[in-house]
Amino acid sequence: MKLMKQLIYTCVLMCCVMCSSCNDYLDIVPKGNKIPTTLADYEALLRDEYTIGQTSISNALYLLNDYYVTVSNLNSPTLTRANYMWDETADRILLNNADESTYYQLYAAISSCNLIIENVPSATEATDAERAEVIAYAKVIRSLCYFVLANYYADTYDAATAGEKRSVPLITSANINAPSQQVTIQAIYDFIIQGVQEAIGEGLPEQSMTVLHPNLGAAYALLARVYLQMQNYSEALNYANLALEQNDQLYDWNAYYDEHHSTIENPEDYTGLPTPTDYSYVENYYFRCGNGSPNYTTNELNIPVERAERFEEGDARFLSRWKLYSQNQDTYYRGVGNGYFNWGGLTTTEVYLIKAECQARLAQGGDFTEAMNTLNAVRQTRIRPEVYQPLTASTLTEAIELIRRTKDNELIFSIVPFADARRFNQEGTYARTMTKTYEGETYTLRPDSHLWTMPFPAGAINNPGNGSIQQNVSK
């Protein structure tokens, strides 16, 4: 890690030397550091998960009430409390007066990708095809980062207004003086799609170097996610099918449950169970850490009791990952899994469920059999055999609700349930008003609440670099 940080530091230094009129003394390489010149030097940046591989989205998880917050942490006015308690009177702009990891982690990753895209064409000790492959990896990662940023700090995509509403700053160079422009939602989506399509055209391989390098299946999966968010169901279905042609494996959580049955069914045993959702998970297209740290193993996140009640009966994945736990004032479902978690990447399960929704949306004559078959393919590997029954739907509303339930549960702690909720809220037909009871009082989160868009952190507004940023929310 120390060597990697030195490498990143010197990459930035090199950009200063190349792109600005620095003094001669900057041409001297600091002792113990290395200016990247070979393709291997640049490719190493893609393996530094601490800089390029994190996707922290804590406040989205708090707003969804997917991530439990203890009573003691709700006693003071903080950004966490405002989102978790759905407090529309709170000034979240004022509360977000410190650096927020979501913004800075993702733009740090984008900077590394920009550095690779700009400089790899002249990297030594490589063929043109090898250079193109590394550039393609960086373009997919950069597009994924912009998708998260756009669905966190800007309003959700609406074709009628996407060309007018502001999104997030678009930065395409690693130069420290590079211009930054806060573009429209349409412009950021166009850039995301263009980057992934360029990566596919430039030779993104079916089998990538490692799971930290997004493969061809990951590119198709990301396009399926993006087009679904744009409500372009035919294109989303097309790319979902292409992704599943690359990898359609599903992990057998029933087999996992059977293997660890004695620990899972012991209510007093909170021993950290090994999570299969790590680097070798058969469902991975691309592995990316979420709220966990890439430097060491972590525990599964805790979830509120009311959130746990939304899992399907007999869900082996739920039974294997959480147990009811009480301590002092707090009662919640404690995460018992331990290891590395692909909360920020791309998996086959997400693609199956994208495909299921698109099949339901595009179904002819009210026949939702294909959509339900796709959904049930996932459920068969999750729901205990003594409970499992294939689901059917007679209306689109019923099909969407069943697919959404599984998707929200399968992809908990990722950006997907948050982005999906915003999409359904914007569409209107399937919008939900969320409710909960806390200390005897009922709280609600309306689908049109301003809380669904996160405020930029103060550091970004006050120090926007070579550009300007306007807040996308009033508070």
What is the C-alpha to C-alpha distance for residues 217 and 198, in angstroms, rounded to an integer?
14
Residues 6 or more apart whose CB falls under 8 angstroms from that of 465 comprise 169, 171, 178, 180
Question: What's residue 99's pLDDT?
Answer: 66
Question: What's residue 20's pLDDT?
Answer: 39
Residues 6 or more apart whose CB falls under 8 angstroms from that of 39 comprise 120, 123, 124, 125, 126, 130, 131, 134
Instruction: Please name every residue paired with 322 in a beta bridge, in sequence order, or none if there are none.
Output: 335
Half-sphere exposure of 276 (CA within 13 A, CB side): 17
Amino acid, res. 187 = A
CATH code of the domain occupying 36-251+345-467: 1.25.40.390
Task: Pick the closest to residue 157 from 54, 73, 229 (CA basis).
Answer: 229
Task: Pick the closest to residue 293 from 252, 344, 360, 245 (CA basis).
Answer: 344
What burial class does residue 419 get, using C-beta atoms within 10 Å of its C-beta: 0-12 exposed, 13-18 middle, 19+ buried? buried
Global pTM reads 0.92
Task: Pick the closest to residue 5 from 32, 40, 37 (CA basis).
Answer: 32
**226-255 pLDDT tens trace:** 999 999 999 999 999 999 999 999 999 999
Q: Where are the domains of the chain?
A: 36-251+345-467
- Residue 265 CB: number of other CB atoms within 10 A? 11
Question: What's residue 34's pLDDT?
Answer: 64
Q: How far is CA 360 from CA 231, 241, 324, 370, 423, in A?
A: 13, 15, 35, 8, 16
**87-145 pLDDT tens trace:** 999 999 999 886 688 999 999 999 999 999 999 999 999 999 999 999 999 999 999 99
Q: From the DSSP assignment, how many helices (H) and strands (E) are in the chain?
A: 20, 12
Q: Which residues of the chain have pLDDT under 70?
A: 1-34, 98-99, 292
